[in-house]
Amino acid sequence: MIRWLSAAIDGQDRGRLEEAFRWLYTFVRPQSKAIIGLMLLSVCSSALVLLQPWLTKLLIDEGLLAKDYGMLVTMAITMIFVGIFSTGLSGVSRYLHTRLSGRILFALREHLYEHLQTLSPQFYGGRRIGDILSRLDGDVSQIQRFAVDSMFSALSSVLGLAGAFALLITLSWKLSLLVLVLIPLEVLWLRWMRRKVERQARIIRERSADLSSFLVETLPAMKFIQAVSQEKRESGKLHNLSNHYLTDLLKLQVTEFFTQAVPGTLTSLTRATAFLIGGYWVIEGQWQLGSLIAFSTYLGMATGPVQSLLGLYVAIQRMSVSLDRVMDLRRAEPDITAPDTPAILPDDMQGELQFDRVCFRYQDRDAAILDHASVIMPAGGTIALTGPSGVGKSTVIDLLMRYYDPQQGRILIDGINLKQLAPMELRKRVALVSQDITMFRGTLMENIRYASPVATDAEVLAASDEARLSDLIASLPLGLETPLGERGSQLSGGQKQRVAIARAILQKPIILILDEATSAVDEATETEVIANVNRIFSGKTRILISHRASTLSGVDLRIELKDGQLVVENSVSEVELNGIN
Ligand SMILES: Nc1ncnc2c1ncn2[C@@H]1O[C@H](COP(=O)(O)OP(=O)(O)OP(=O)(O)O)[C@@H](O)[C@H]1O
């Protein structure tokens, strides 16, 4: 099956496609019971559909023309029951179909989302979020439509075609030869058209991704766009994107129209020919009227499935484009993985950090951020990391959080190489408060509790108190239960910072990092925040990054990042450090 599907698709690497289909099959296989159930329902539905014209034939030939009232009534009653049963059956199968379809769709999307959670900032830096969104949404739906809808329509088409063809031969084998001429012509046409459809479907998916990317980028930036009066320019961009999309959509529509219209016209011609020949036979008394009507109906029933089976070719081309786009996400490998047997950090860890001849440079960048840099950040100390803008301070923090691994050298926490740790295990012990604080739609309580979902209400309240959030909570209409709006838009910079500190308190970290955390507030607030942090997190290793001299005064150790080296600028005496420890 997988080989057959791969062979039906043009223009793509066969091996890659087989791999993609095998992956897709892992989501279909768990639903095999539901699929078998639906297949049985499909068989029943197809049989009922095929039964209807035969009942009409009996009604006309054995009832009307033979003037048999008993037969007339029996057929009419049978038709009513068959109709009711068909309707019930189609309702049940539509329900089961939606359930199956939804399960596969959501399993696919959830799997991809979990995979995306393992990818590093490098991956997200190189991608447009709108494009990822479009792959997760439009492309995944396209695949699911194929995996479920097209497959079932193919099954009922095969059943319909086989049944209708058998009944056509039963009614008249000579007229049935017409179908044998029609089918090869339709097949040839669709084979010719499918490459065009595939190419245009890819363009449409890319246009849709462009549109999503545009909206994802500009909507959150609306305040800035208004501030610099560039509304018209952005509307113009949207207009251009929409125009391109529409033009390509119309091209695809025209191509799809001709792809379907030619077989449709051939079918009409065949039907007309069947009526001409069959009609002549009826007039000559060689055939019955009921048989001619049933034949014409079965002809439609036979050519319909042929078209939808050949339309499957078109669906496969469209789906293969989406599958390739989704697999592109799936194939992105996480840069950071947990070792097979990760080391466990002890509960009584100290929080000493050591850089041991660490080298790191970003891909495609010449300059090294760290070039055999070595330093020890003592446990329990306050360490300032300084250096001019763009030198790599945030990158050092990313290395500490294991968003990246060094290309050479080791980073050790209490003597354990970070590479030996599962990233999650490490990040639980390190709290990061940065300038850019992530807030989610939800209440203040939910936002504070985000990193420690098991924290009790009392713990959240105590942490809020320590982070000096009490005044804010008292001023909010619903206190901690007040919704904060999209991305915490109702809070000031300083208030968000306190939320971040409350989060860090709940996390109970061994190491606390403040990366430009206080740059959004005035110096007085900053002094208060730093004093709070020192009070709350005393005894923990604290790393501060700031451009302000006032933030960095009174630290135990100053490390400057310079020419790829971590240079200790001033150090407190051994005695004092021992005192900290
Ligand atoms: N994902 C990335 N890929 C490639 N280069 C990057 C990436 N992230 C940062 N850089 C580059 O690495 C260098 C260091 O960036 P980083 O943000 O670590 O500096 P910084 O010292 O924290 O700067 P600032 O003080 O302005 O915040 C910069 O030149 C930046 O352009």
Q: List, for residues 82-122, the tens digit of each pLDDT value.
A: 889 988 998 998 898 889 888 988 999 999 999 999 888 88
Structure tokens at 194: 């499918």
Q: Compute the average pLDDT of residues 31-50.
A: 87
Does the pLDDT value for residue 381 go beyond 70?
yes
Q: Compute the average pLDDT of residues 375-391.
A: 89
Task: Give the model confidence (pLDDT) of 537-573 as tens digits.
Answer: 888 899 988 877 766 777 888 899 988 899 888 654 4
Percent of the chain with pLDDT over 70: 93
User: What single-letter amino acid sits at 447?
Assistant: N
Does the pLDDT value for residue 526 go beyond 80?
no
Tell me the pLDDT band of 8, cut-offs 50, 70 and 90: low
Enter the DSSP assignment of 229: T
Does the pLDDT value for residue 304 go beyond 60?
yes
Q: Compute the average pLDDT of residues 165-182.
A: 86
* Any atom of ligand 1 within 6 Å of the Cβ of 125: yes
Structure tokens at 128: 């447009």
Write down all domains in the chain, each with its CATH number in brackets: 2-331 (1.20.1560.10), 353-580 (3.40.50.300)
C-alpha 474 chain-centroid distance? 40
Q: Is there a contact between 430 and 402 (Cβ–Cβ < 8 Å)?
A: no
Does the pLDDT value for residue 282 go beyond 50?
yes
The per-residue pLDDT for 488 is 62
Is pTM beyond 0.80 here? no
Does the pLDDT value for residue 580 go beyond 50?
no
Ligand 1 atom nearest the C-alpha of 396 is 18
Dist. CA 362 → ligand 1 center (Å): 9
Q: What angle do CA 205, 256, 183 make, to 5 degrees?
A: 130
Average pLDDT, the chain: 84
Q: Which of the two residues, 5 and 210, has the higher pLDDT score?
A: 210
Q: Compute the average pLDDT of residues 226-250.
A: 92
CA separation (Å) from 51 to 48, 88, 291, 297, 485? 5, 16, 14, 11, 59
CA separation (Å) from 97 to 145, 148, 204, 389, 401? 11, 8, 27, 57, 45
* Any atom of ligand 1 within 6 Å of the Cβ of 366: no
Dist. CA 393 → ligand 1 center (Å): 8
Does the pLDDT value for residue 576 go beyond 50?
no
Does the pLDDT value for residue 429 go beyond 60?
yes
Tell me the pLDDT band of 249, cut-offs 50, 70 and 90: very high
How much is the CA Rg of the chain, to the nearest whole Å?
Answer: 35
Structure tokens at 538: 């005393």
* Any atom of ligand 1 within 6 Å of the Cβ of 364: no
Helix (H, G, I), strand (E, B) or coil at 432: strand
Q: Is there a contact between 421 and 402 (Cβ–Cβ < 8 Å)?
A: yes
> CB-based contacts of 313: which residues, under 8 Å, 6+ apart?
8, 190, 191, 194
Best of 395, 400, 432 for a ligand 1 pocket test (most atoms within 8 Å of beta carbon):
395
- Distance CA(543)–CA(383), nearest Å, equals 5
Dist. CA 389 → ligand 1 center (Å): 8
Helix (H, G, I), strand (E, B) or coil at 570: strand
CA separation (Å) from 180 to 162, 176, 455? 13, 7, 72
